[in-house]
Amino acid sequence: MGLDLAALVGEAEVAHGHLCAGQILGVRMAMLGLARLGIDDPKGADRKRLVTFVEIDRCATDAISVVTGCRLGKRALKFRDWGKMAATFVDLATGKGIRVAARESSKDRARELYPEIASKNQQQMHAYREMPDAELFTEQWVSVPIEAREMPGYKSGRIVCAECGEGINYDREVRRAGLILCRGCADVAGRYYREVEG
């Protein structure tokens, strides 16, 4: 199965709710990663071979998910909040990984290619469809150790937090002073939420 840029951009637009330069960049980034790994059918025959790490929570991430079929709920999409327009694609069958990052210079190149277009987003959408991969991205072969508990399909016993009584999956408990705690109860100051009256 060949990956078709126009069709994938259309799918990404539907999934994300609008089309922007980040969507096109994400589609192209995922297509490049899959090509380098030799994964031709990520949503079919090869669907269990791929884990993808994304480094930004922006439009490109939705596009990458559409192209690769990797989803958080399938445990095949991993988010690392680094604020970078980059993703690492890991072939579980071979252990090979490739990190693909957008070049900052691609924005300037888009302006050079389409100076007559006033909108920066429109310039980039046009340019990102046609620029060679080498002008859009850097590539780096990498090794990504993935713990068994991070793998898609991993099963573990469900443990209950001694403090709040909520269930904990995937070996995410913290053991402290003889108690089994969830991460929220083990580090109240580090929680992403705060209790309020209500």
Is 134 among the domain residues? yes
Looking at the structure, do residues 15 and 65 belong to the same domain, yes or no? yes
Give pLDDT tens digits along the chain (198 positions).
467 888 998 998 888 888 899 999 999 999 999 999 999 999 988 888 999 999 998 889 999 999 999 998 888 999 998 999 999 999 999 999 999 999 999 999 999 999 999 999 999 989 999 999 999 999 999 999 888 777 777 677 788 999 898 888 877 888 989 998 998 988 888 878 788 887
Q: Are residues 113 and 181 in the same domain?
A: no
Do 165 and 111 share a structural domain? no
Establish if 154 belongs to a structural domain: no
* 94: Cβ contacts below 8 Å, ≥ 6 apart: 37
* Residue at 197 is within a domain: no
143, 132 contact by CB (below 8 A): no
Number of domains in the chain: 2
Q: How far is CA 37 from CA 22, 26, 74, 105, 175, in A?
A: 22, 17, 20, 25, 39
Q: What is the pTM of this model?
A: 0.84
Residue 152 lies in a domain: no
Answer yes or no: do 11 and 85 share one domain: yes
Residue 177 CB neighbours (<10 A):
6
State the burial class of residue 127 (Cβ atoms within 10 Å of its Cβ: 0-12, 13-18, 19+).
buried
The secondary structure element, H or E, covering residue 31 is helix 21-37
Q: Tell me which residue has tokens 């302006």.
A: 111
Contact 62, 23 (CB under 8 A): yes
Tokens of 52: 């993808």
Q: In whole angstroms, what is the distance from residue 116 CA to residue 147 CA?
A: 50
